[in-house]
A and B are shown apart, each in its own frame.
Chain A
Amino acid sequence: MAVKRPRLAAVTTVYRKYSHTQHIVDRFVEGYGWNGTHHHPEMDLVALYVDQVGADDLSRDRAARFPTMKIYPTIADALTCGTGKLAVDGVVLVGEHGDYPKTPKGQVQYPRYQFFEQIVDVFRSSGRSVPLFSDKHLSWNWEWARKMYDTSKEMGFPFMAGSSLPVTWRIPSVEFPTGAKVREALCICYGGVDSYDFHGLETIQGMVERRRGGETGVRWVQAYRDDKFWDACRDNVWPRELMNAALCRSHTLTPARAGFGDVFPSLDDMRRLVKDPVAYRYEHADGLMGTMLLMNGLVKDFNFAASLDGVSKPFSTQMYLPMPDGRTTLADFFNPLSYNMEQMFLTGKATIPVERTLLTTGLTAAGVDSLFAGQVKVETPHLAIRYQPTAQSTFWRT
C-alpha cells in the first residue's frame, strides 16, 4: 500500500549559509549522504517561515529552486499553508542564529518558546497535533522549556529536540556496556556559554542515560570560571584522569609547545592556552557526577570520558563533528539528526526521549545561573527528571 508522503513545515529564525536552518532544511530539500547514498527524505517540506531575512538570506534561493516549498509570512500561515487549518504532518522548529537580544546573564533570547506557542496554537485551533522537532535546547528559559514539555504531554504529540552530539559519529565507535555503573562522566569541549555548553551537556547525557537504572535527574549544579576553574582543576574537584582520557581523544589539541604538532599539555600549559575556561559540575540523584568543561584555546572538538565500575581504565571517545570552519565544507553531523527527525515524522514516534533535552536545557540554564550568581552551588529540585533511554543506540554507525 502506498504510504502518503508526510508534508512538513519549518519554522526558523534565519536561513543563511551555515546557520542551523540551512543545515537542517537543506537536508530535507537537497537530500544528504546517508547509508552510502545520497538520501532524499520520503517527505516534502512544503512550508517555510523565516523570522529574519537579511542580505545573506538563502530562503528565497531555496524556495525558487524547490517550488514545492513555499515561504509564508507567519508561523500560522506556514502550518496551515494559508488554508486556516493545520495542513502539515510534521513541524521542524529551528531557533538558532539570527539577531536576538541577550538577557542580563548573556543568554541569547532565541524565540523557540514563542515559536512553539504559535505552533501549538495552530494545533489547538485545528483540533489536531503533529510531531514536532525543536533544534538545540528547548529554551534559554527553564520555565518556558518545562511548559513546552508539559504542553507536548498534555496535547499528546510526539516531541523531540536537542543537539547532533548524541547522534553523530563516535571515534572510536563505542557505546556503554548494558547496565554500566557510571561514577563520573566528563566532556571537554569548546565554545560559548548558553551555546556549546549545551552541546557538551548533551554529549554527556546521551551517554550516561544508558547507565544502570536509567536517568534519575540532577540535584545541583555548580559552575567554575577563571581562577576558580584552575583551583578546582588543581584540587581534583573533577578527576584529572578523565580530563587526560578525554584530551587523548581530541584531534585538535593546541600544541602546548612551539615547534611541535601534537604534544600532551600540562596543567600549566592549559592555563596558558585557555583564556576563559568554564566548568559545570553537577550531581545526579543516583550519585553520578557530571563535569562539562569549555576549554577554548585548547580543543575544537567534543571529547567524552567516564569511569565505570569494574573497569580500571576510563571509557573514552570523541563525538565527532565534521565542522565547516575550514576543516570540512559540510556540517554532516546534521545528517543523523535529520534522519532521526525523519523517523519521527514517518512513524509518529520520537526516536530520542525529549526528557534528555529537557534535562540538558535545565542544566544549561542552571550552569548560567551559577556563573551569574558568582559560581555558587545551585540546587536543582526542578531537575528531578527521570527517564529511560531508547533500547537501541541512536548514534551514527552506518
Chain B
Amino acid sequence: MPRTITRRTFLAAAAAVPVLAQATRTKRIAIITTIFRLQSHGQHIGDRFMVGYPFEGEWHKPNTQVVALYVDQKPEGDLSGARAKEFGFEVYPTIAETVRCGGSKLAVDAVVIIGEHGEYPRNEKGQTLYPRYEFFEQVAKVFEAEGRSVPVYNDKHLSYSFEKARAMRDTARRLKFPMLAGSSLPVTWRLPELELPLGCEIGDALMVGSGGSDAMDFHGLEALQCMMERRKGGETGVKSVQLIEGAAVWEAGEQGRWSKELLRSALSRSDNLKGFSVTDGRPQDMVGTGVLPGLVKDPWAYFVEYRDGLKATLLMLSDAVGDFTFAARVKGKAGIQSTQFLLTPDPNVTYSACLARKIEEMVETGVAPYPVERTLLVSGVLEKCLDSRVKGHVRVETPELGVEYRAPRVSQYCRT
C-alpha cells in the first residue's frame, strides 16, 4: 500500500537519498512496434517497461508507465490487446494518435520504436524492409507540428538504408531530442570483462558471429564498433567496405587480410563451437586443426576500413559457432585482447534488460548514454557491405560514411 506522503516526510526522504533516486514524476512511454508477439523484440523490450526487469540483483520497476501502443501487424499470437487491457493503456490505430494518446497534443515523455520481426518484404540485397524510418518520421512529424520533442529510442539499426538512417539522425539533431539506438550486444555482459582503454591504439580487430543477414550481422558489426570507437582520436568514419563469401574468405585469411591469430583468440572465447564439439563434446582449436573450411559451408567476411587507416573484420561463421566473440591487438597490451558478448538464453533474454536499463536512463535523464552515431555508422556499414555483395563482392568506397563521434567516457556494458 502506498505510504501517505506529507510535505515533511517527502523532504526528509528527499534529503536522505541521492539526487538521481529522488522521486520524479512517472514518465509516460509510447511504444511503436511492428508486432507484439511472444519472443518478438516488441514484447521483450516492451514488457520491461510493464513488468520490470532484473537489475543489480533486484527486480527493478522503472519509473515509467506505458500509456500507448501502436502495432503495425497483428499476427497470430498477438498480445497487444491483452497487454493494453492488463496494463491500462490503449492500442491506437495510427502512430500520431499513439504519441498523442488519442488526444490533440503530444502526450508522452518518450517514444520507443521497435521495428523488428513481422512480415515485411526483402529487397535485392536481402534486407528486410522494416519500416523504422517510416515510424520515426511519423513520430517526428508530431514533434515538429507541436514544436515539442521527447526522447526516442530505436531498436537495432536505424534503417536498412543509410540515407534514411542519416535523415533520422539529422531530424533528431534538428528537433533537438535525445536519440538512442542499437542492439543489446554493446551493453550485455562480457566474458571476461574486457573494455578497451579509451584512446588506445588498436592494431587489428576481428569479430566472429553467427546467424543470417541482415539480422545477426548487424549485431556482430555493432559489437565490433562499440570496441573500435574507443580508439585514439575517436571515430572518424569508414572509408571503404567489402563483403566476400565462400572460399574467398579462407583465401583472404591465408593472405593475411584477416588474422588467424585473432580468430583463434576469438574462438577460444566461444562456448558454442560446432562440428566435433556437437558430435562428441570436445573442445577444439578450430584454427589449429584446420577444420573451418570443411565445416563452414557459407562463410561471410565483412571488411571495414576506417578513414584513419585502421581495419577491422567481421566473420560470420554460422556452421562453426553459435555466439559472438571479439579479439584485437592493442598497443602497449601484451597478447591479444578478447572476450565474448554474452547472449543469455530464451525466453528470459536477460541481455535485453541491460538494454532496457539504457533506454530508461535516457528517459529519466534526457541524455542518451551513448551516441546514436554508433548505430548510424553501423547501419551504413551493413548496407554498404550488402551493396558490395550484390555488386560482385567488390570493394566499395563509402564517402558518405564520414560519421565522426566520440565514445562515452564511461563504459556502458553490464557489470553490476
Contacts and interface: CB of A to CB of B under 8 A. Distances in A.
Partners in one complex: yes
Interface of A: 17-18, 22-23, 26-27, 30-39, 58, 61, 169, 171-173, 244-245, 248-253, 255, 259-264, 305, 313-317, 320, 322, 324, 327-332, 335, 396-398
Interface stretch (B38-46, B103-111, B128-136, B300-308): B38-46
A9 B338 CA distance: 33
Given A26-B283, A31-B283, A397-B192, A252 B271 contact: no
Given A173-B193, A330-B273, A245 B348 contact: no
A331 B283 CA distance: 9
A260 B345 contact: no
Contacts of A39: 268
30 contacts: A17-B279, A17-B281, A22-B282, A23-B281, A27-B283, A30-B284, A33-B267, A36-B327, A36-B337, A37-B336, A38-B267, A38-B268, A38-B284, A171-B191, A171-B342, A172-B416, A244-B59, A245-B58, A259-B82, A261-B347, A262-B48, A315-B57, A327-B345, A329-B272, A329-B274, A329-B278, A329-B281, A335-B283, A396-B192, A397-B192
B272 A262 contact: no
Contacts of B345: 251-252, 327
Contacts of A332: 271, 283
A332 B269 CA distance: 9
B: contact size bracket: 35 or more
A264 B347 contact: no
Interface string B126-167: 000000000000000000000000000000000000000000
B226 to A, nearest CB: 19
Contact of B273 (A313, A314, A329): A329
Given A36-B337, A61-B280, 13 more contacts: A17-B281, A22-B281, A31-B285, A36-B268, A249-B54, A251-B344, A261-B44, A262-B48, A262-B353, A264-B51, A329-B277, A396-B192, A398-B192
B415 interface: yes
B34 to A, nearest CB: 17
Contacts of B416: 172
A274 to B, nearest CB: 17
Contacts of B214: none
B57 A245 contact: yes
A102 B273 CA distance: 35
B262 to A, nearest CB: 10
A261 B41 CA distance: 11
Contacts of B282: 22, 26, 30
B52 interface: yes
Q: Which are the 6 A-B pairs with shortest beta-carbon distances?
A: A33-B268, A322-B271, A316-B57, A38-B285, A261-B347, A328-B271
B268 A37 contact: yes
B53 interface: yes
A249 B274 contact: no
A397 B193 contact: yes
A157 B54 CA distance: 46
Interface in B338-362: 338, 342, 344-350, 353
B interface, by DSSP: helix, strand, loop or mixed?
Answer: loop
Interface string B68-107: 0000000000010010000000000000000000000000
A89 to B, nearest CB: 23
B193 A251 contact: no
A335 B57 CA distance: 27
A331 B281 contact: yes
Interface in B254-275: 264-265, 267-274
Contacts of B274: 329
A180 to B, nearest CB: 16
A264 B283 contact: no
Interface of B: 38-39, 43-44, 47-48, 51-55, 57-59, 79, 82, 189, 191-193, 264-265, 267-274, 277-285, 287-288, 322-323, 327, 335-338, 342, 344-350, 353, 414-416
Nearest to A36: B338
B411 to A, nearest CB: 13
Nearest to A253: B348
A18 to B, nearest CB: 5
Contacts of A171: 189, 191, 342
B269 A33 contact: yes
A22 B281 CA distance: 7
Nearest to B51: A263
A262 B338 contact: no
Nearest to B342: A171
Contacts of A32: 283
A248 B58 contact: yes
A328 B283 contact: no
A61 B276 CA distance: 12
A36 B336 contact: yes
Nearest to A332: B271
Contacts of A329: 271-274, 277-278, 281, 322
Contacts of A261: 38-39, 43-44, 47, 346-349
Contacts of A396: 192
Nearest to B278: A329
A353 B288 CA distance: 36
A328 B272 contact: yes
A262 B349 contact: yes
A164 to B, nearest CB: 13
A30 B283 contact: yes
Contacts of A327: 345
Nearest to B288: A38
A78 B268 CA distance: 31
A22 to B, nearest CB: 5
B54 A248 contact: yes
A116 to B, nearest CB: 26
Contacts of B269: 33, 36
Contacts of A35: 335
Counting chain B CB atoms within 10 Å of each CB, which of A27, A253, A305, A330 scores highest?
A330
Nearest to B277: A329
Nearest to A257: B51
A17 B58 contact: no
A253 to B, nearest CB: 6
A212 to B, nearest CB: 22
B57 A248 contact: yes
A17 B415 CA distance: 34
Nearest to B321: A329
B150 to A, nearest CB: 26
Contacts of B270: 33, 330
Contacts of A30: 282-285
Contacts of B284: 30, 38
A308 B278 CA distance: 42
Contacts of A26: 281-283
Nearest to B415: A172
B280 to A, nearest CB: 5
Contacts of B192: 169, 173, 396-398
A30 B270 CA distance: 15
Contacts of B338: 36
Nearest to B349: A261
